[in-house]
Amino acid sequence: MLLKDKTILVTGAARGIGAATARLCHEAGADVLLHAGRKSDASGQAAQAVGQSADDFIYQDLLQPGAGFKLFETVLRRAHRIDGVINNAGMFTPSPLSGAMEAWTDGWAQTLAVNVQAPADICRAAITHFRDRNEGGTIVNLASRAGHRGDGVENAAYAASKGAVLAMTKTWARGLARENILLYAIAPGWVETRMAPQDIADRKAAEAEIPLGRVAKPEEVGAMIVFLLSGASPSATGATFDINGASYVR
């Protein structure tokens, strides 16, 4: 089992990529700690898939200042030792160039709080923990294809936030590799989650730009994450793995 005896934190684990990744980590032998912003039917289903209940989730709203640090403090009280962190939680809020200024300001503030500040704080807390243990550890940060190529003109905050995730992952990977603290980024394109286009015309347009002919499944992203957490290829630290059906090839 690839992750036997490892304890892994998965943020945003109630649905989509997070839920699929948590289940695959569990199947690979890991003890999985699940995070979500709030309790829901989805969190109950995700917990059941890894032999837990909705009450086993750690609920923390990452929009709140300091939420990433509070989350990690709770995690350590529960597990005492963390071997890997998956920063999957994120949000997509438009930052429109047209329309009310309030939507612009709120879009940037909320996006940066959840997609940049919270995972950065979680990374800092995890790195401190790894250093205290002096045994290393692994962090996988979920970015996006948008962090490389940009996004729609109304979605600059989202693209910028994911570009920031890529930059901080590379920075810490370069600086911490000698301490056996490894960081990787995943940059998916469209994935079969709530963020994928639901309108028929939009869905056809999205699939038309994907040479593979379909959006990715959450389990495809999860499988890559399990591999990275396994320690099978430490020399890949700092790398970004594109999962987009060849819709954006670097």
10 Å Cβ neighbour count for 2? 16
**Count H helices, E strands: the chain?**
9, 7
Weakest-pLDDT range from 7-11, 95-99, 143-147, 235-239: 95-99
Residue 11: which pLDDT band, with cuts at 50, 70 and 90?
Answer: very high
Say what the pLDDT of residue 195 is.
Answer: 64
Q: What is the CATH number of the domain that holds 112?
A: 3.40.50.720
Residue 31 belongs to some domain of the structure: yes
Q: Which residue has the tokens 């995972």?
A: 119
| Residue 203: per-residue pLDDT | 65
In a domain, residue 173? The reply is yes
Does residue 87 sit within a domain? yes
pTM (two decimals) = 0.95
Domain range enclosing 13 = 7-190+216-243
Which token pair is 63? 């929009």
Q: Is there a domain that residue 34 lies in?
A: yes
Number of structural domains the chain divides into = 1
Residue 28 domain flag: yes
Residue 14 lies in a domain: yes
| Tens-digit pLDDT profile for residues 202-234 | 667 778 889 999 999 999 999 999 999 999 999
Q: Are 40 and 14 in contact (CB under 8 A)?
A: yes
How many CB atoms within 10 Å of residue 38? 10
Of the residues 59, 158, 184, 248, only one is catalytic, namely 158
Active site (annotated) includes residue 158: yes
Q: How far apart are the C-alpha atoms of 21 and 72, rounded to whole Å?
A: 19
pLDDT of the residue at 49? 97
Give SS3 for 58.
Answer: strand
- How many C-beta atoms surround the C-beta of residue 112 within 10 A? 17
Q: Determine the Cα angle at 87 with ends 25 and 133, to 5°.
A: 75
The reply to whether 96 falls in a domain is yes
Q: Which two three-digit tokens encode residue 89?
A: 């939680």
All residues at 6 or more sequence positions from 171 whose CB lies less than 8 Å from its CB, including other chains: none
Q: Which residues pair with 188 in a beta bridge?
A: 243
CB proximity list for 41: less than 8 A, separation 6 or greater: none
Whole-number mean pLDDT of the chain? 94
- pLDDT tens readout for residues 152-201: 999 999 999 999 999 999 999 999 999 999 999 999 999 987 665 565 65
Flag whether 249 is in a domain. Answer: no
User: pLDDT tens digit string along 120-145?
Assistant: 999 999 999 999 999 999 999 999 99
Return the amino acid letter for 239.
A
How distant, in Å, are the alpha carbons of 15, 90, 123, 170 from that of 148?
A: 25, 17, 21, 14
